[in-house]
Amino acid sequence: MQKLGELLISVAVAGLASQWVIDGAASAQDFPPYPEQKPLAAERQGAIAKGREDPPNGGRPEINSADEMRAASGYSAPGAVRYATLAAAAADGKWGVTTYYRCKNTPGGTAINAPYPAPLEVFDGVYSIGDHANNIWAIKTSEGIILLDALGSRENAEAFIVGNMMRLGLDPKDIKIIIVSHNHDDHTGGVEYLKDLTGARLGMTKIDWDAATAEGAMPAKADGDFYIVDGQKITLGDRTLTAVFTPGHTPGTISLLFPVTWKGQDHIATYAGGQGSPNELAELVQFRTSLDHLAVFNDLMQSDVVLSNHTVGDDGLTKVAAMTADPSVNPYIVGREAVIGYHEMWRACLSADIEQMIHDGATGDPTALAAREGEPH
């Protein structure tokens, strides 16, 4: 790694060339600028909770009890109400923002006019470098950096991924592997730009990659790129990530588990690669089964840290702000009980959605759904 005062990044994409130099006295204009924050369109603006309007979380509502669940969720099917009550109990007041999102999935409510979070080293060599909606994680190894996801555009990848790495004294050209969790454009939009900049190897499941390539959202698989399969160990230098196939959000979503350290203590992070619930019964069933599959890995590896690729999935805006204000605490370390509660809450919310959908008239061939639920991972 170059010393901070020597780091020179040259970026040339689509005929646009830019240069920034980092030195010990670098000021804001020395980095790729953040895009101007604009108010969200009405259809993208989720509900703002009274009394919670202030940053850093931009007013995201919370569900922290069974009473709040009954008041907010809108479930009417008896089975759905029961599952939603179980979800609130499982969360145990620790996942208020995420519980509201899971069991009352406000369309598009992943960013509620919140300020951009500060880039931050959350664990030793594990950096949060995303925007207010999307967490992006950069994982430093002895042989370079593994990047998780790529934001929604070249401009955002340049502003946040490149810019925030530079703010933290990291060289973006040290990115050697880019893992793409799934093929939605808010995760793939910066891939081609980052691939051109760094020459990094890309990793993604084949089913999602093929679909994204057909739509022009991902470059074709090149030499050195790789398909990710269930249980795969992805190693770079002294770090290994374990991939878990978790379809439902998309047909090829993958999640990850990997060791992290903080203040000399070892921990295991679980990273869910898909967040929002699908709208079709079969996909909801598949998603619920995927969470069961991920829970087995969490149990076997004893995960005690929850990370997400969206800030609504781990209340990342609040956690980053807390760590920025007081680096002696790490709210991402939640413990085994809270990880179990997190996944039980999520599974119960999906079950509530399934119950409500069937109550409202959705149908499916039980044999076909059962076969789908039993698909090998």
Per residue in 234-259, pLDDT tens? Answer: 999 999 999 999 999 999 999 999 99
Residue 82 lies in a domain: no
Determine the structural domain holding residue 292 and report its residue range. 92-373
Number of structural domains the chain divides into: 1
Residue 43 lies in a domain: no
pLDDT over 70 at 45, yes or no:
no
Residue 86 lies in a domain: no
How far is residue 150's CA from residue 296's CA, in Å, rounded to a whole number?
28
Q: What is the pLDDT of residue 43?
A: 65
Q: What pLDDT, in 10s, does the model give residues 149-180?
A: 999 999 999 999 999 999 999 999 999 999 99
Name the pTM for this structure.
0.90
Q: What pLDDT, in 10s, does the model give residues 167-218?
A: 999 999 999 999 999 999 999 999 999 999 999 999 999 999 999 999 999 9
Residue 236 lies in a domain: yes
- Greatest Cα pair distance, the chain, in angstroms, is 65
CATH code: domain of residue 286: 3.60.15.10
Tell me which H or E stretch contains 271.
strand 265-272
Residue 71 lies in a domain: no
Q: What is the pLDDT of residue 106?
A: 56
Residue 199 lies in a domain: yes
Residue 3 lies in a domain: no
For CA atoms 354, 358, 363, 366, give the dihedral sign.
positive
How far is residue 43's CA from residue 106's CA, in Å, rounded to a whole number?
10
Residue 308 lies in a domain: yes
**143 secondary structure, DSSP code:** T
